Structure 1
Amino acid sequence: MLLYYPMKSKCTPLFTGLLFVFLSLLTTVQGQSRRLSPADILRVATVSDAQISPAGEWIVYSVSSVEGEQTTSTLWLVHVGERLSGGPPTSRQPEQRRNWETLRYPGRPLLPPAWNASNPRWSPDGKSIAFLATREGQRGIWITGPTRAVPRFITAIRETNFFITYAGEPFAWSPDSRMIAYVSASEEETDKDDDPRVIDRIQYKSRTSLSDPLRTHVWITDVDAPQPRQLTSGLLYDHALSFSPRGDEIAFLSNHEADPDANNNSDIFAVNLQGQTRQITATVGCEYEPAWSPDGKWIAYTATKRDVTTIDSVAEDTHVWITSASGDTRRELTASQDRRARNPHWRSDSRAIYFSANDHGQTLVFEVELNNEKVLPVFGAIDQIKSAASEFKGSLDSTAPTVLDQRIQVTSFSISEQLDFGEFVSGQNRIPIRLASIASIISDSTHPGEVWMGRGNTLTRVSNHNDNFRRGASLIEPEEFRFKSVDGSEIQAWLMKPSGWREDRKYPLVLSIHGGPHGMYGYALNPSFQVFAARGYAVLYLNPRGSSGYGQKFADGTINEWGGGDYRDLMAGVDEALRRYSWIDQYRLGVTGGSYGGFLTNWIITQTPRFKAAVSAASVSNLVSFYSTSLYQDLIHAEFGGFPWDNYDLLWQWSPLRYVRQAQTPTMFIHGEQDNDVHITQAEEMYMALRRRGVETVLVRYPREGHGLREPKHRVDSLERTLAWFDRFLK
């Protein structure tokens, strides 16, 4: 609050002029964005899981943010009502629209203060929202409504720490909104002592500890008078639920192999309300994400087809499939697209399926019709959708109805049951289409994710949780370029210039490598890259062979040779960046990466001395010992076609540790002490080898952390240490 005391003015013209100049300069400085520091990465709120109500009137979503040393997840609700336009506005002038910063649909917290909740899901009648929360030590399902209803506890849920790939939906409403089916764990083996711990299974490790004895099963309860009943049982992990529209069965996933730990093979099953289970699919590949069609005839899902599917980063792209409810008929719908598909959602008329897929650095929403298997982008594919008039085009800053004609990233989406009619225009072709209202989380390289809603390619932003962060930060737009690698393969890359870049200066460059190996860099904000740029570094990142988003042949590019073609792609990318950008100092190059990116960092420092500093996080160094210490043994089966005792020479050939005599680069290793994805011994082996050889190195161990750092202070500390390491050797 400002106190104002009226007084007579006695200012001279000179004083008045100086005061005006001072205030103008102060306003200019205050209005300027500042460069990011490592602590600023905690200011980015993670907006996720946008769920639109069946009638398209409401959207509920999750917001994860850091408060002190804790990361909390809250639920927000926004009422979009009937005001959402199906097309761009016709009366608003472009300059007015672009300066419009007030949200058309302001949201509010759904729950009272101090609630920590996630996984909001609408009841089919649109009157209630079920969600997961822990309250007063009780973990379970709660229900509230869009009209500020007091949350009501429905049932307790017990969770296992066992790693379940693509765990899917943890609960599902019945079509009449009277029941909820859910996944909860129970202890099937109660006679085992914990001291000593006797290991008698393959998957005895979870991601950060030893696997508990719990198994997950399908349960059901009434909503009005909760009385939980267990429907499935056994030494199995039942998960990923979808309620039949007839209300008589629940579809779910389970692995019924003789030894599920030895063979990752999830199939689709269904259990009726009396607890009788039937198997719907029985394939050698893995089925994921079952979703029952509204008419009850089909179940959509994503799936692989190969004999071996790892529980980790799989090379094989999942595609969208459908099976008849009986399991007699199965069809693959998106093979022609040749992209990795996830998250299938039925259109309410049961004639089409919406899904997300990776494509050249973007993750977008697509639609496939059942009758002709034609795949069309819903929005965001700027080279396939007819350009809109300039007054309707806008950036992710806009809060007015906007046609997004830029590269974006869609991390999640949901669709309403209500349909409108429109057309897809591509060149001279006009294809009539049915449009559902879609709520999605959209981001790009300089905008954190926010909630957007729309139909077709016209969208409206309905959240602003990161606006203050953007206004206070000077963010760098990366430049995309493509080049031919050593064998002629086209590689997509991005380069971020350092803050305050000047053409007459030389700058150090850091090459960053993604994990996987089948991950994908793209058009999403990377706060750490922005901090690197603020510190004066150029950042190069690219998608070498093995990355998803470029088709199956490209994704298979690392099979049987980790550090082969992908290493050559990375080095060709560095060469291309040096050729294109003469201001990059070729004598001040750094390299970093996490997980598989850490593996490649270790590989690079043993293959070339061109990098003067390296930071390797959660990295693999020895494929032989990795096999027996990681919970992902089948990653070796899938990528190298067998067991270490059968192909030891091949695994050792592609292990960085084998070539450690050649390493000269000062290297920092960062690792979580409880990481069972890539055990910390992998970093220890590489660290000890470099240390014994006299190469400058340090190992930073983070207690309580697994594969990737979670605690806010550790996230900031690791970034600060990484920058300090590069500053020491590159500046």
Structure 2
Amino acid sequence: MVKTKLTANDLFDIHSVTAPVISPDGQRVAYITTTIDEKKNTYFSKLWVTQSNGAQKSVAWTTGEERISNVTWSPSGNHLSFLSTRNEKNQLFVLSAHGGEAQKITSLPFGVQSYEWDPSETKLWFTATYHEEHGWEDEKKDDKKDDFPKPYIAGKMKYIQDGNGLVKQDRFNQIGTVNIDTKEVSKWSDTSFSQHLHTISPDGKKFVVSEHPKEDDDVFENTLYLVDVDSKERQELTQENGSYYGARFSPDGNYIGFIGSHRTYENATHADLYVYAMEQQAVQNLTESVDAPVGDYVVADIQQGASAPSLVWTEENHVYFQVSTHGDVRIYMTTLEGEMYPVTQEGEHVYGYDVSKDGKHLVLTVSSPVSPGEVYTQTVATGERTPLSAHNAEFLSTKNIYTPEPIIFEGPNGWEVHGWIIRPEEAKNKKVPLVTNIHGGPHAFYANTFFHEMQLLANKGYGVLYINPRGSHSYSQEFVDAVRGDYGGNDYLDIMAAVDYALETYDWIDKERLGVTGGSYGGFMTNWIVGHTDRFKAAVTQRSISNWISFYGVSDIGFYFTEWQIQGDMNDVEKLWDHSPLKYASQVNTPLLILHGENDLRCPIEQAQQLYITLKRMGKETEFVRFPQADHNLSRTGLPNLRIERLHQITGWFEQYL
């Protein structure tokens, strides 16, 4: 079959295959696929079930127009449960593992955030938003005056949130139960602050919960508590200040594993795997010797609703977990004695997984630079894999997909920097332009995963360079922390060193036709680059930061993120201005396209407005494109038609100027 060039519209043909869970008997695997409905301009999911040995094709167990998440087998394996948006809000549904229709179990006004099966299987425990006056009942409207606009009083600094708008200050999370047969809902929490349920002991007598005070402007930590379900007596599990999540009981109930970080380096701090021993009442950090973060911090644009457990226990009290390491996400296993090793291979992104009770088999969702992702089962002892799905087989068989070449080069201080370069087929006969693409975060990373945007640029005839400069995750703690207080310093030099390396190594690059783009932190860096060098002939900045002084007060994370990352505040305005790309606008000579979502509260659109008006007034070559109904996640989860238009804007600008 002749393969055709990949296009922006191929987003509609890619299946996001996510969230695999293995049944308690190890015989079946459930997972989710998400695709884009072009006509309805939205995303829909399906729940699939297949045999874990690959002997049977996957069967869709749902077919509705909905988004599905949090798929879980009941303890006996007799039921599958999941959250669904088929009634707008995320509600809890239970489906017999023997067939039939899914039964809606909750009808809460704000939906369900997460849930756990009670060992008895007569009820489910959940965490949901609770109204301090109306509780879990619909708010009553007494007269038409309730339809009139009302002022919003911001009582704290954390009063806005990207993707959600104004924070409802009369709401907080509470824990409750719902009876499967009667659907009767009962409230367990009796607090006036947020609680979140993490895990239930095998005998159903103990919980692990986290708590968050309502007035939390300067609180970025949380505490995990072990709580008696009946008496509500509790003891603290986390014996060091930090941020902790994802607690899970071991099958024998003697241990609790959880993930967390002490925040010595604020949000750049590596996460670790901790285990609390019930008998000794002591916590042990099992990954203290691993100089890489536990978890998945990959930047990508395909995996819709991807989720993975924080950790998984086996019957032998072995623990499996994800580690972001040198551009990969791999599954590691550790014993309680600290014997640890990776159980998945290099060169890939394992973005979902589960483990059989006996620890003999993994079920994985895996992406690589040339595959959006499928479900596999893997034998732990041998590493042998069996594919369980082929949802993207047709797409891959008909489209031209490039294999990125890994590169390693030397940045400032002699540090090794890792990245990838893609050579388009046009480079066989002539020199081609090179586009450098910079990720956001900055504490995220590019990985050995499928990236539609990179493939699109290569299929348009551009060389594509993307790297993990200092500040990126999956490397050492020193490396990820190095960007803080140095925005526009050695991180900028890492990117310039990458371009130098590419030009010295690959003779197919036209050094006179260099482009640069990036979003969020990558947008900041794009702005910084065009204000400090003229070597790029075209640039596209997306959802960017241009002015740290105004960012401090308008972003939903501005006041603390600025202090953590720039290491300055409004008492040191000169420092904020020195790190602001807007200061260097007069030095910009590169044609700059500015893309920004109108509902972005993480990097508010005023950042783009300031930059555009300043450059325009100075007579610079620039254009400004505003995306309605788009928040900070436009490129990943935004309205599909706007995602397509964004890609057209990027490639169109480079076509015009490169």
TM-score of the two chains, using structure 1 as the length reference = 0.82
Give, in angstroms, the shift of residue 282 of structure 1: 5.2
Q: State whether residues 293 and 300 of structure 1, in contact with CA within 8 Å, keep that contact through their aligned partners in structure 2.
A: yes
- Whole-angstrom distance in 1 between the partners of 2:649 and 2:153: 40
- Whole-angstrom distance in 1 between the partners of 2:483 and 2:534: 23
1:264 paired residue number: 220
- Whole-angstrom distance in 1 between the partners of 2:491 and 2:69: 38
- Alignment length, in residue pairs? 623
SS of equivalent residue, structure 1 residue 150: coil
- Whole-angstrom distance in 1 between the partners of 2:235 and 2:603: 34
1:531 paired residue number: 456
Deviations 1:135-192 (A, max 9, x none): 34564111113322221121224448xxxxxx9x811112232321111111126799
- Whole-angstrom distance in 1 between the partners of 2:37 and 2:234: 46
- Whole-angstrom distance in 2 between the partners of 1:211 and 1:330: 35
1:556 paired residue number: 481
Deviations 1:15-55 (A, max 9, x none): xxxxxxxxxxxxxxxx1010011111232111111111112
1:176 paired residue number: 120
Greater Rg, structure 1 or structure 2? Answer: 1
The 1:63–1:194 alpha-carbon spacing in structure 2 relative to 1, beyond 3 Å, is same
SS of equivalent residue, structure 1 residue 722: helix
1:16-415 aligned at under 5 Å gives the runs: 31-68=1-38, 69-80=41-52, 84=53, 104-137=55-88, 139-159=90-110, 170-188=114-132, 195-208=150-163, 209-212=165-168, 213-239=170-196, 241-256=198-213, 259-274=215-230, 276=232, 278-280=234-236, 281=238, 283-306=240-263, 309=266, 314-325=267-278, 328-342=281-295, 343-349=309-315, 351-371=317-337, 373-381=338-346, 407-415=347-355
2:644 paired residue number: 716
SS of equivalent residue, structure 1 residue 219: strand
- Whole-angstrom distance in 1 between the partners of 2:325 and 2:553: 34
1:429-448 aligned at under 5 Å gives the runs: 435-448=359-372
The 1:203–1:279 alpha-carbon spacing in structure 2 relative to 1, beyond 3 Å, is farther
Mark the runs of 5 or more structure 2 residues left unpaired by the alignment. 140-145, 296-308
1:427 paired residue number: none
Give, in angstroms, the shift of residue 500 of structure 1: 3.8
SS of equivalent residue, structure 1 residue 289: strand
Give, in angstroms, the shift of residue 436 of structure 1: 3.1
> Structure 1 residue 486 and structure 2 residue 458: aligned?
no
Give, in angstroms, the shift of residue 288 of structure 1: 1.4
Mark the runs of 5 or more structure 1 residues left unpaired by the alignment. 1-30, 85-102, 161-166, 382-406, 420-434
The letter for the 1-side match of 2:273 is: V
Give, in angstroms, the shift of residue 687 of structure 1: 1.3
The 1:225–1:250 alpha-carbon spacing in structure 2 relative to 1, beyond 3 Å, is farther
Deviations 1:683-716 (A, max 9, x none): 1111111111111111111111100211110000
SS of equivalent residue, structure 1 residue 705: coil
1:454 paired residue number: 378
Identity across matched positions, percent: 30
Give, in angstroms, the shift of residue 275 of structure 1: 7.0
Q: State whether residues 409 and 417 of structure 2, in contact with CA within 8 Å, keep that contact through their aligned partners in structure 1.
A: yes
- Whole-angstrom distance in 2 between the partners of 1:43 and 1:327: 53
Deviates more, 1:226-235 or 1:197-206: 226-235
Q: State whether residues 292 and 300 of structure 1, in contact with CA within 8 Å, keep that contact through their aligned partners in structure 2.
A: yes
Which of 647, 651, 670 is the equivalent residue of 2:595? 670
Q: State whether residues 364 and 377 of structure 1, in contact with CA within 8 Å, keep that contact through their aligned partners in structure 2.
A: yes
SS of equivalent residue, structure 1 residue 156: coil
1:553-592 aligned at under 5 Å gives the runs: 553-592=478-517
Deviates more, 1:213-222 or 1:551-560: 213-222
- Whole-angstrom distance in 2 between the partners of 1:564 and 1:189: 51
- Whole-angstrom distance in 1 between the partners of 2:451 and 2:87: 35
Q: State whether residues 284 and 307 of structure 1, in contact with CA within 8 Å, keep that contact through their aligned partners in structure 2.
A: no
Give, in angstroms, the shift of residue 279 of structure 1: 4.3
Deviations 1:495-519 (A, max 9, x none): 00113431x4110000000111011
> Structure 1 residue 416 and structure 2 residue 356: aligned?
yes
Q: State whether residues 174 and 244 of structure 1, in contact with CA within 8 Å, keep that contact through their aligned partners in structure 2.
A: no
User: What is the alpha-carbon root mean square deviation over aligned residues?
Assistant: 2.1
- Whole-angstrom distance in 1 between the partners of 2:109 and 2:82: 15
Q: State whether residues 7 and 456 of structure 2, in contact with CA within 8 Å, keep that contact through their aligned partners in structure 1.
A: yes
- Whole-angstrom distance in 1 between the partners of 2:320 and 2:63: 34
Q: State whether residues 268 and 443 of structure 2, in contact with CA within 8 Å, keep that contact through their aligned partners in structure 1.
A: yes
Q: State whether residues 287 and 301 of structure 1, in contact with CA within 8 Å, keep that contact through their aligned partners in structure 2.
A: yes
Give, in angstroms, the shift of residue 648 of structure 1: 2.5
SS of equivalent residue, structure 2 residue 289: helix
1:472 paired residue number: 398
The letter for the 1-side match of 2:350 is: V
- Whole-angstrom distance in 2 between the partners of 1:57 and 1:356: 23
- Whole-angstrom distance in 2 between the partners of 1:175 and 1:233: 23
Q: State whether residues 251 and 317 of structure 2, in contact with CA within 8 Å, keep that contact through their aligned partners in structure 1.
A: no
- Whole-angstrom distance in 2 between the partners of 1:177 and 1:698: 58
Give, in angstroms, the shift of residue 231 of structure 1: 1.3
Q: State whether residues 350 and 364 of structure 2, in contact with CA within 8 Å, keep that contact through their aligned partners in structure 1.
A: yes
- Whole-angstrom distance in 1 between the partners of 2:235 and 2:627: 44
Q: State whether residues 603 and 656 of structure 1, in contact with CA within 8 Å, keep that contact through their aligned partners in structure 2.
A: yes
SS of equivalent residue, structure 1 residue 501: helix
SS of equivalent residue, structure 1 residue 460: strand
Q: State whether residues 426 and 432 of structure 2, in contact with CA within 8 Å, keep that contact through their aligned partners in structure 1.
A: no
Deviates more, 1:537-546 or 1:179-188: 179-188
- Whole-angstrom distance in 2 between the partners of 1:497 and 1:601: 22
- Whole-angstrom distance in 1 between the partners of 2:316 and 2:571: 48
Q: State whether residues 598 and 627 of structure 2, in contact with CA within 8 Å, keep that contact through their aligned partners in structure 1.
A: yes
The 1:151–1:636 alpha-carbon spacing in structure 2 relative to 1, beyond 3 Å, is same
Q: State whether residues 197 and 207 of structure 2, in contact with CA within 8 Å, keep that contact through their aligned partners in structure 1.
A: no
The 1:627–1:198 alpha-carbon spacing in structure 2 relative to 1, beyond 3 Å, is same
The 1:448–1:275 alpha-carbon spacing in structure 2 relative to 1, beyond 3 Å, is farther
Give, in angstroms, the shift of residue 622 of structure 1: 1.2
The 1:623–1:561 alpha-carbon spacing in structure 2 relative to 1, beyond 3 Å, is same
Q: State whether residues 319 and 334 of structure 2, in contact with CA within 8 Å, keep that contact through their aligned partners in structure 1.
A: yes
Q: State whether residues 117 and 134 of structure 1, in contact with CA within 8 Å, keep that contact through their aligned partners in structure 2.
A: yes
Give, in angstroms, the shift of residue 348 of structure 1: 2.3
The letter for the 1-side match of 2:284 is: R
Deviates more, 1:706-715 or 1:193-202: 193-202
The 1:607–1:528 alpha-carbon spacing in structure 2 relative to 1, beyond 3 Å, is same
The letter for the 1-side match of 2:469 is: P
SS of equivalent residue, structure 1 residue 482: strand
